[in-house]
Structure 1
Amino acid sequence: MKLSDWLIIIGLGVIWGGSFLFNAILIRELGPLSISLGRVGVAALGCWAYLIATKVQLPSDWRIYAGLTLLGVINFAIPFALFPLAQNYVNVGVAGIVNATTPVMVVIVSHFWPGGEKATPAKSIGVAIAFIGVAMIAFPALQKGGQSELWAIGLMMVATLMYGIALNYTRSFKQLNPTLIATITLTGAAIVLLPFSLALEGVPNIQTAESWGALLYIGLVASSFTFLVVYRILGRVGATNMSTSTFIAPISAIFLGYIVLNEQIQPVHMFGMLTIFVGILAIDGRLFKLMRLPKPAA
Structure 2
Amino acid sequence: MTSGRNLSTAALTGLAPAVWGSTYLVTTELLPPDRPLLATTMRALPGGLFLVALGRRLPAGIWWWRALALGVLNIGAFNVLLFVAAYRLPGGIAAVIMSAQPVFVVALAALFLGERVRGRHALACGLGAGGVGLLVFKGSVSPDGVGVLAALGGALCMASGITLTKRWGRPGGVGLLTFTGWQLTAGGLVLLPFWLSLEDLPDGLTGSNAVGFTYLITLGAVLSYMVWFRGIERLPATAVSFLALGSPVVATLLGYLFKDQTLSVLQLLGIAVIFLAVTLGQPQSPRRKPALTP
TM-score > 0.5 by shorter chain? yes
Deviations 1:253-297 (A, max 9, x none): 2332223222223433332333233233333366xx9xxxxxxxx
Secondary structure of the 1:140 match is coil
Counterpart-to-counterpart distance in 1, 2:32 and 2:263: 21
Amino acid at match of 2:169: K
In the alignment, which residue of structure 2 is the partner of 1:200? Answer: 198
* In structure 2, distance between residues paired with 1:101 and 1:203: 35
Instruction: Specify the alignment match of 2:79 in structure 1.
Output: 80
Q: Contact 1:100–1:276 at 8 Å: present in 2 too?
A: no
User: Is the CA contact 2:100–2:125 (under 8 Å) kept in the aligned structure 1?
Assistant: no
Structure with the larger helix share:
1
Confirm whether residue 168 of structure 1 aligns to residue 154 of structure 2: no
In structure 2, do the counterparts of structure 1 residues 27 and 80 end up closer, same or farther at CA, with 3 Å as the change threshold? farther
Q: Look up the match of 2:38.
A: 34
**Gapped regions of structure 1 (runs ≥ 5):** 290-298
* Partner Cα separation in structure 1 for residue 279 and residue 270 of structure 2: 14
- Of all paired residues, the percent bearing the same amino acid is 21
* Structure-2 separation of matches of 1:152 and 1:260: 28
The Cα of 1:72 is off from its aligned counterpart by 0.7
Which residue of structure 2 aligns with residue 107 of structure 1?
A: 106
Q: Which is further off, 67-76 or 267-276? A: 267-276
* Contiguous gaps of at least 5 residues in structure 2: 288-294
Partner of 2:291: none
User: What count of residue pairs does the alignment treat as equivalent?
Assistant: 276
SS at 2:58 equivalent: coil
Segment drifting more, 195-204 vs 185-194? 195-204
The answer as to whether partners of 1:234 and 1:242 remain within 8 angstroms in 2 is yes
Tell me the secondary structure at the aligned position of residue 112 of structure 2: coil
Q: Which amino acid aligns with 1:141?
A: G
Distance 1:114 1:238, change over 3 A: closer
CA offset at residue 44 of structure 1? 0.8
Give SS of 1:179's match: helix
Identify which of 176, 181, 184 aligns with 2:182: 184
Specify whether residues 121 and 258 from structure 1 end up closer, same or farther in structure 2 by C-alpha distance, changes over 3 A only: closer
**AA aligned opposite 2:125:** V
Contact conserved, 1:14 with 1:249, CA < 8 A, in 2? yes
Q: Structure 1 pair 130/247, CA: closer, same or farther in 2 (3 Å)?
A: closer
Residues 75 and 6 of structure 1: is their aligned pair in 2 closer, same or farther, counting only changes over 3 Å? closer
Superposed CA RMSD in Å reads: 4.0
Supply the distance in 1 between the matched residues of 2:112 and 2:283 (Cα, whole angstroms).
Answer: 24
Q: Which structure 2 residues correspond to residues 1-298 of structure 1 after superposition, within 5 A?
A: 1=4, 8=12, 12=16, 14-25=18-29, 29-52=33-56, 57-61=57-61, 63-84=62-83, 102-111=101-110, 113-137=111-135, 139-142=137-140, 145=141, 147=143, 156=151, 158-176=153-171, 177=174, 178-203=176-201, 207-231=205-229, 238=235, 246=244, 249-284=247-282
Change (3 A) 1:273 1:75: same
Is the Cα–Cα contact under 8 Å of residues 17 and 250 in structure 1 kept in the other structure? yes
Give the Cα separation in 2 of the matches to 1:32 and 1:203: 12
Deviates more, 1:129-138 or 1:185-194: 129-138
